[in-house]
């Protein structure tokens, strides 16, 4: 896994929930602010699902909270996730699936999706 940047106090970070829409998460995640960085945990304050500010600890290595349902992303990471999702839509429409263990780069996946998108869709079970 690519090494993530070191977060600093006061830095803006995005918080995402696995069940995003069910808990009132905006499309781009909640915008949070790093309030402390320790050897094991990053503490972030963000609006949360109810609009009330929440303060949550996330692992320094995993960028996930203790339940694993919430995770941190930088804006740059979020853009990459959105690009991959757009490519996956085209691939799924043509019944093309890549497992989680593939070694393609995002750029390669986007090029494959661009090429496959030029073919007519076929009906298969």
pLDDT digits (tens, 9 = 90+) for 47-59: 876 666 889 999 9
Is 122 a residue whose pLDDT tops 50? yes
Tell me how many domains the chain contains.
2
Inside any domain, residue 125: no
Q: Do residues 45 and 37 make contact, with C-beta atoms less than 8 angstroms apart?
A: no
Residue 78 has pLDDT above 90, yes or no: yes
> Do 111 and 67 share a structural domain?
no
d(CA 87, CA 110): 6
Residue 7 within any structural domain of the chain: no
Whether 3 is in a domain gets the answer: no
Residue in 33, 37, 29 with CA at minimum distance from that of residue 45: 33
Q: Is pLDDT at 125 greater than 50 in this prediction?
A: no
Name the most confidently modeled range: 1-5, 99-103, 116-120.
116-120
Domain that holds residue 44: 12-73
| % of the chain beyond a pLDDT of 90 | 60
């Amino acid at each position: 896994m690519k090494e993530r940047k070191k977060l600093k106090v006061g830095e803006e970070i995005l918080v995402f929930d696995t069940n995003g829409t069910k808990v009132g998460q905006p499309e781009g995640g909640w915008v949070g602010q790093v309030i402390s960085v320790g050897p094991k945990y990053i503490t972030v304050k963000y609006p949360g699902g109810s609009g009330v500010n929440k303060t949550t600890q996330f692992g320094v290595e995993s960028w996930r909270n203790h339940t694993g349902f919430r995770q941190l992303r930088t804006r740059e990471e979020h853009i990459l996730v959105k690009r991959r999702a757009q490519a996956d839509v085209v691939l799924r429409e043509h019944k093309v699936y890549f497992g989680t263990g593939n070694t393609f780069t995002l750029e390669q996946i986007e090029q494959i999706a661009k090429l496959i998108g030029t073919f007519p869709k076929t009906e298969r079970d």
